[in-house]
Structure 1
Amino acid sequence: MTKFDFLSDTQKSWHHMDVDQVLTSLESSIEGLSYVNARQRLRHLGANKLPRSRPISKILLQPLLDPLTYLLLGSATYLQWNGAEGWALILVGVLHGSIGIGISLWSMKTKEKVSRDRPQRRQYETSNSVIVLRDHEEMELPLRDLVLGDVLILKAGDRPNVDLRLLEVSEDLLVNQTNLGGEAICPKQVLAFEENTPALERGNMIYAGTEISSGTAKGVVIATGRFTYEQISLIKERSFSAIHAELRQLRQVWLCLLGLVTVIAIAFAWQRGIIINAMTAAALIVSTYPQNLLRMATQVQLLGMRDLARQRIWARFPSVLDALARVTTIVPILESDVILSFGNLHQAGIEWRGLLRTSEEDAQAFGEVIGVETHSYFDAPQERIRQWQGDRPKSVDAVAVIGNDIEDIPLLRLADVGICDRTCRKELQDSSGLILPKEEFHYLPIAILEGRAIFDRLQRTALINASSAFTLAVLTLMDTAAGFSIPPLQLIWVGAIATPIVSFPLVLEPTHESLLFQPARRFQTMLRPSNYLRILLAVTATITAISLVFWLKYQGQAAMFSQARSMAFITLVFSQVFHACAIARQGVLRNLPLLLGISFITVCQVMFIQIPWFGEIMSTVPLNGVEWTIAVLSATAVFWVQELIKTS
């Protein structure tokens, strides 16, 4: 046990303790820490700053800390020992692990780029120093040198970046908590509050991110860095974006499907008196598990933030881009003498509604003139916004609120997207998710289009990966029921290599202008019936084409089994290629990454079929030109199905 282990418990109910208990717990005093003690605590706790990003060493070691890595290694070793192709599982694991590390490093670089390109505030930034009591004397220290137990002296205009338990206050002390979603409070005396008192109603606390509007205060530091109330609240609010949450749900569906297929396949095998191929089951799991999909989603969102920053539009969080894609209502807070100039977003399924700083009668009259539903800002505006948001557990409609005054902060925090411009005060910007270069509404379509483009890229990538996974699962089930055994390496090639190669270019496509003129409902959730129908039709078309090719060639003749399986393998691979071509927003000849991916898959497929050495590994035999043509043309079935969906 080290000297300062008692400082590791930062979740105490400091507001419920009296001053003597707080100081005793922190081993401090009302005169502050000694200089030596403070320096020792600083070395033990580290600087008072937020971690910018994960160290590269942690990213490189991440695969070694994942239990699934060792499960894969153990399974591969066991299968290899028993004569199966366990080496293929290890190679795929190393490949996807390397890709995951590469995406993480790419994300780090993109974050740095976003930070450099984001618009700089015109207002002053938070002071980098504060008055601290050390050795019974007042001294000015950098904020990064503050430690638990330090006693601070705050005056009007100070914005601490630590949480404080108040020790002494002046009669005119006023603390502005609007940045945290609260109101200004006036602590008059230092008392202990009930333990269940809401955080922003604790009059004996000052939190990081607040501002001393007037008066003076003395307080002891009880939380620094990422342990402050502000940072903990931020993590809870912005833990995952909506797209990440939906991808996690989709991954759970995949895992449930794999479990169901495995159980049914074992039942079929047991009924036939045979033992199911463990290598096939392992290959199916590796091929259908959505590797690196969440990391790719994060990277696509960061690229979108970077593109907006280049246009001097700052999205503060990735979840803001999700909300922008789902926006159905934009609510500017207007002055009575405002001059409006905004574009018509009706084709995008977005309505304008206004809150006017005047009476309800005048607001409605103003709305009739401009043709926009308008209500009084002073007549329960929060209830209005909740009404436009709909029933939260069921509704996916998003409301964006545009504010320009400090009193608009509660409405900005209530909205799905709070919007302001760079001329607004820092508190307003800190409570907003989207910051525009200036007070002009024509920047909004740019931001909404980028949000929709990100959603569209990830949705199409998820669709092709889900279709591939379901196809492989159903084929494995059909093969087991028919008494055949699909080669495991073919599953690995299609699901773990070929499909990611053709789906990756979809997330790199440029923004398509037509997305702004599509209905808003298409961008509100991935988990909607139309997407399930698309997956079902794609899987049905692919399996039908593969089955026809196989049975027309096989026709119950054992001598034709190898040729029939090779043709079915070609149809399966090129079905993924044609599926990607069908759902791509950009033509294949103009999409260089997709063109290179298709070329690589084609060359590999020819080698797997026509070269005997590869044929022995992949369980294929050479085919003639007619057989190749039939197999490839059959694979276009999924392409025509997708084209019919577009025109319907």
Structure 2
Amino acid sequence: MAKFDFLSDLNQPWHHLPIEQVLTALASSMEGLTYVNARQRLRYLGANKLPRSRPMFKIWLQPFLNPLTYLLFGVAIYLQWQGAEGWILLLVGAMHGGFGIYLTAATNAIKEQVLRDRPQRRQHEPSNSVMVLRDRETLELPSRDLVIGDILLLQAGDRPNVDLRLVESSADLIVNQTNLGGEAICQKQADLICDLKTAPLDCGNMIWAGTEITAGNAKGVVIARGLLTKEQAALNKEQPFSAIHSELRQLRQLGLGILILVITTVNGLSWQRGITLNLMIASALVISTYPKNLLRLATYVQLLGMRDLAKQRLWARFPAVLDAIGRVTTIVPIVESDVVLSFDELSRGGISWRALIRASEDDAQAFGQVIGIETHSYFAGAQERIRQWQGDRRRASVAVIGYDLEDISLLRAADIGICDRNCCKELQDSAALILPKEDFHYLPIAILEGRAVFDRLQRMVTLSTVSALTLAIVVLMDAAAGFSVPPLQLIWIGAIATPIVAIPLVREPSHQQLLHQPAHRFQTMLRSSNYIRISLAVFATVTAVCLVFSLKYQGQAALLSQARTMAFVTLGFSQIFHACAIARQSIFQNLPLLLGVSAIALCQVLFVQVPWFSDILLTVPLNGVEWAIAILSATAVFWVQELLK
């Protein structure tokens, strides 16, 4: 098959080449490929189809493609060889790696389920059969048998799943490119030769996969198929990380910087005392404070929100839409004179309404005074108005509700384009959120779900951040006092107990009260109120741990083990009380959280009272009074959160 090696390098400017040169480069002709040549190319290239989902073996291999995995292996083996508990690092790493694999698999499953509920799904799918030229004959073939160099015949209504360079076209050929972010009416012509730097959607001699022939007929040569088409590149580009993903990345980088600073400081304190920093403690601190699977969890929660909306017949185009709709502060419908707006419920949540109307600016102003919202002319710089509203508030988003074909440009200019299922499919291809029908009462449902997604992730991140900062400060204070925190206690609190009580928070149902809270609370996690909340929670937890330790220790070496154990109990139960304080519903209504809290409480008792566990975690049994003092001290973070409410 060496004669088909040229098919593996097809990154050429086909739009800039004459038709004869394109056919020559693809070893094809106007009469089409021969049967034998086409069959050989099909065996060489494989079937023309997209993978239905990510193969499971790639998901399982994912942790082994991360260099940090091998770093963890090396550190664990070295520590085990040195007589430390390196096995626990491998165990925790495997646990979080397995959870990451589960999240990836669950995300793929939810994504497929949501796509099955997509409106007008059949209209978005290409036909299973196509008309091609083979040996000068017109044949109907399955689309999966198309190969590079095939001559494809197209007519009105066809949606090809391959990229084509036109070789013949009728004078009335029109292509709809809205599904790729282009215009609904694009005239195409085969004998054009476009400039080398022409944007793909502006190439008048190309037809891309995912577009639709609106009128006319054409003949084109296949230049790309499968994952190599512009449609797949556009889908990847059109699904960027949401704003909340960017914030989580910033938090992760900030956490890593703080972690490096803490380890460096602890090393300096130990060096002053003539002690070498214990590698096991440093490793335990890293694995118990570094945020793991954070971005995967964010995507997973957003997809759960998409699925919940789909059950109510609201369809979001991408997971990032849930984040954008949760941050919305301005809704701009394109209204008619007889429109009925209902915005009282959203106004209480800090969301303002503005409108565009197809009338003069004077008439728009007069109409706005009648309906009570700011209204402007659709024809007087509507896109500039939208950009102005977008710049009014930082990180806020503007939603535009359109109904007609000419509204496509405004939907794309907005952060969120909205339409309903009764609109034309070109408009639906350009919209980020599709409502079941023309009814503003569906908007609160979508906004509530977007805010709920943000709120779930925010509470999970808050709990994890408080735990990580608390452990870092405890290690610093222990190093300054000349003590050494048992590494396994750090790993249990930060890498096991905290995720067990934090993850159930992302599965809580949407709380109706979120819709009435100020919009600024859902713009960003990186705001001063959150910093204050986290700081107070960390202060309360660290103070409780220090008080318990100091009251029991009192400078007596014989009581060090009891004091350390009581501090360990206080740390463990602080995670429980913190999770209960920030949960949106009662712990008895959240079964995963109830099971997690019960498991952590039971393990804390076992780790202290059972000799085998106490030998591993370096704890000693406590009496009833000591248990009561430690647990009551752990409630400090609960009362701080209640006061903040």
C-alpha separation between the residues in 2 aligned to 1:117 and 1:185?
29
C-alpha separation between the residues in 2 aligned to 1:71 and 1:118?
43
C-alpha separation between the residues in 1 aligned to 2:10 and 2:265?
51
User: Does the aligned pair in 2 maintain the 1:132–1:151 contact within 8 Å?
Assistant: yes
Which stretch of structure 1 is more off in the superposition, 373-382 or 145-154? 145-154
- 1:378 partner SS: coil
Counterpart of 2:501 in structure 1 is 502
Task: Give deviations 1:586-620, integer Å, cap 9, x for gaps.
Answer: 11222222121111111111111112221111011
Q: 1:116 to 1:606 in 2, by over 3 A?
A: same
Q: 1:364 to 1:9 in 2, by over 3 A?
A: farther
Counterpart of 1:523 in structure 2 is 522
Counterpart of 1:416 in structure 2 is 415
Which stretch of structure 1 is more off in the superposition, 352-361 or 442-451? 352-361
- 2:573 partner SS: helix
Task: Give deviations 1:384-409, integer Å, cap 9, x for gaps.
Answer: 11111117xx8211111111112211
CA-CA distance at 1:118 after TM superposition: 4.6
Counterpart of 2:102 in structure 1 is 102
User: Does the aligned pair in 2 maintain the 1:178–1:410 contact within 8 Å?
Assistant: no
Counterpart of 1:401 in structure 2 is 400
CA-CA distance at 1:579 after TM superposition: 0.9
Which stretch of structure 1 is more off in the superposition, 398-407 or 165-174? 165-174
CA-CA distance at 1:125 after TM superposition: 5.9
- 1:11 partner SS: coil
User: Quick one: which amino acid aligns to residue 197 of structure 2?
Assistant: N
- 2:54 partner SS: coil
Counterpart of 1:644 in structure 2 is 643
C-alpha separation between the residues in 2 aligned to 1:398 and 1:611?
55
- 1:270 partner SS: helix
Residue 87 of structure 1 pairs with residue 93 of structure 2: no
User: Does the aligned pair in 1 maintain the 2:167–2:190 contact within 8 Å?
Assistant: no
C-alpha separation between the residues in 2 aligned to 1:25 and 1:479?
71
- 2:141 partner SS: strand
- 1:330 partner SS: strand
C-alpha separation between the residues in 1 aligned to 2:129 and 2:402?
31
C-alpha separation between the residues in 2 aligned to 1:100 and 1:182?
37
Counterpart of 2:129 in structure 1 is 129
Counterpart of 2:536 in structure 1 is 537
Counterpart of 2:52 in structure 1 is 52
Which stretch of structure 1 is more off in the superposition, 269-278 or 42-51? 42-51
- 1:418 partner SS: strand
Counterpart of 1:599 in structure 2 is 598
User: Quick one: which amino acid aligns to residue 192 of structure 1?
Assistant: I
User: Does the aligned pair in 1 maintain the 2:581–2:638 contact within 8 Å?
Assistant: yes
Which stretch of structure 1 is more off in the superposition, 582-591 or 483-492? 582-591
Residue 241 of structure 1 pairs with residue 242 of structure 2: yes
Q: 1:142 to 1:353 in 2, by over 3 A?
A: farther
Task: Give deviations 1:549-583, integer Å, cap 9, x for gaps.
Answer: 11121121111111111111111111111111110
User: Quick one: which amino acid aligns to residue 551 of structure 2?
Assistant: L
C-alpha separation between the residues in 2 aligned to 1:188 and 1:123?
25
User: Quick one: which amino acid aligns to residue 409 of structure 1?
Assistant: I
Counterpart of 1:387 in structure 2 is 388
User: Does the aligned pair in 1 maintain the 2:403–2:423 contact within 8 Å?
Assistant: yes
Which stretch of structure 1 is more off in the superposition, 181-190 or 541-550? 181-190
Q: 1:188 to 1:594 in 2, by over 3 A?
A: closer
- 1:348 partner SS: coil
Counterpart of 2:370 in structure 1 is 369
Q: 1:120 to 1:197 in 2, by over 3 A?
A: closer
Which stretch of structure 1 is more off in the superposition, 190-199 or 282-291? 190-199
Q: 1:103 to 1:412 in 2, by over 3 A?
A: same
C-alpha separation between the residues in 1 aligned to 2:46 and 2:371?
57
Which stretch of structure 1 is more off in the superposition, 3-12 or 295-304? 3-12
Counterpart of 2:326 in structure 1 is 325
Residue identity over aligned pairs, in percent, reads 69
User: Does the aligned pair in 1 maintain the 2:119–2:315 contact within 8 Å?
Assistant: yes
C-alpha separation between the residues in 2 aligned to 1:368 and 1:319?
35
User: Does the aligned pair in 2 maintain the 1:192–1:204 contact within 8 Å?
Assistant: yes
Aligned pairs (5 A) from 1:618-629: 618-629=617-628
Residue 166 of structure 1 pairs with residue 166 of structure 2: yes
Structure 1 unpaired stretches of 5+: none
User: Quick one: which amino acid aligns to residue 367 of structure 1?
Assistant: G
Q: 1:189 to 1:97 in 2, by over 3 A?
A: closer
C-alpha separation between the residues in 2 aligned to 1:620 and 1:606?
11
Structure 2 unpaired stretches of 5+: none
Counterpart of 2:42 in structure 1 is 42
CA-CA distance at 1:501 after TM superposition: 0.8
C-alpha separation between the residues in 2 aligned to 1:124 and 1:549?
64
Aligned pairs (5 A) from 1:420-499: 420-499=419-498
User: Quick one: which amino acid aligns to residue 205 of structure 2?
Assistant: N
Which stretch of structure 1 is more off in the superposition, 332-341 or 119-128? 119-128
Counterpart of 2:268 in structure 1 is 267
User: Quick one: which amino acid aligns to residue 365 of structure 1?
Assistant: A
C-alpha separation between the residues in 2 aligned to 1:3 and 1:547?
75
CA-CA distance at 1:241 after TM superposition: 2.1
User: Does the aligned pair in 1 maintain the 2:126–2:210 contact within 8 Å?
Assistant: no
C-alpha separation between the residues in 2 aligned to 1:226 and 1:402?
33
C-alpha separation between the residues in 1 aligned to 2:454 and 2:342?
28
Which stretch of structure 1 is more off in the superposition, 601-610 or 60-69? 60-69
User: Does the aligned pair in 1 maintain the 2:464–2:499 contact within 8 Å?
Assistant: yes
User: Does the aligned pair in 1 maintain the 2:345–2:516 contact within 8 Å?
Assistant: no
- 1:93 partner SS: helix
Residue 315 of structure 1 pairs with residue 316 of structure 2: yes
C-alpha separation between the residues in 2 aligned to 1:257 and 1:124?
48
Task: Give deviations 1:455-514, integer Å, cap 9, x for gaps.
Answer: 100110011111111111121122222211100000010011100111111111111000
User: Does the aligned pair in 1 maintain the 2:171–2:216 contact within 8 Å?
Assistant: yes
C-alpha separation between the residues in 1 aligned to 2:124 and 2:603?
59
CA-CA distance at 1:518 after TM superposition: 0.4
Aligned pairs (5 A) from 1:535-614: 535-614=534-613
User: Does the aligned pair in 2 maintain the 1:330–1:352 contact within 8 Å?
Assistant: yes
C-alpha separation between the residues in 2 aligned to 1:528 and 1:546?
27
CA-CA distance at 1:123 after TM superposition: 6.3
Counterpart of 1:212 in structure 2 is 213
Which stretch of structure 1 is more off in the superposition, 441-450 or 14-23? 14-23
User: Does the aligned pair in 1 maintain the 2:117–2:310 contact within 8 Å?
Assistant: yes
User: Does the aligned pair in 2 maintain the 1:119–1:309 contact within 8 Å?
Assistant: no
- 2:399 partner SS: strand
CA-CA distance at 1:232 after TM superposition: 1.1
Which stretch of structure 1 is more off in the superposition, 115-124 or 334-343? 115-124
C-alpha separation between the residues in 2 aligned to 1:205 and 1:119?
28
C-alpha separation between the residues in 2 aligned to 1:139 and 1:361?
60
Q: TM-score, normalised by structure 1?
A: 0.95
User: Does the aligned pair in 1 maintain the 2:154–2:213 contact within 8 Å?
Assistant: yes
Q: 1:105 to 1:177 in 2, by over 3 A?
A: closer
User: Quick one: which amino acid aligns to residue 88 of structure 2?
Assistant: A
CA-CA distance at 1:119 after TM superposition: 4.6
User: Quick one: which amino acid aligns to residue 373 of structure 2?
Assistant: V
C-alpha separation between the residues in 2 aligned to 1:122 and 1:150?
25
C-alpha separation between the residues in 1 aligned to 2:352 and 2:420?
21
C-alpha separation between the residues in 1 aligned to 2:82 and 2:454?
45
Q: 1:53 to 1:246 in 2, by over 3 A?
A: farther
